[in-house]
Amino acid sequence: MDIYSNKFAIMVIMVLVCILALQVLTNNSSNQLIDSETCELYVMDHKINAKKYLNEFDSKCMDFKNLNP
């Protein structure tokens, strides 16, 4: 297969689109959210409808909180 052919270009584009789609689908499954008051990451437990905190903090949120006391 010649790399200058149209079929090769279409195949490469299709592979890249599939990789991008897989990344988007796997990224949305984590459901990590940020608490606006404490900047702590949490996930929602849908069985009991409660937050489960992960003891991790979002650095961008912390920086924003420090700029606006």
**Predicted pLDDT at 31:** 65
Query: Other CB atoms closer than 10 Å to residue 54's CB: what's the count?
Result: 12
Domain shared by 65 and 37, yes or no: yes
If one counts the domains in the chain, the total is 2
**Predicted pLDDT at 27:** 66
d(CA 69, CA 61): 13
Boundaries of domain holding 46: 31-69
- Phi and psi angles of residue 55, each rounded to the nearest 5 degrees, phi first: 55, 35
Q: Which stretches in the chain have pLDDT values below 50?
A: 29
Domain shared by 43 and 18, yes or no: no
Domain shared by 40 and 20, yes or no: no
**Predicted pLDDT at 17:** 96
Q: What is the pTM of this model?
A: 0.47
Q: Which amino acid is at 8?
A: F
**Predicted pLDDT at 13:** 94
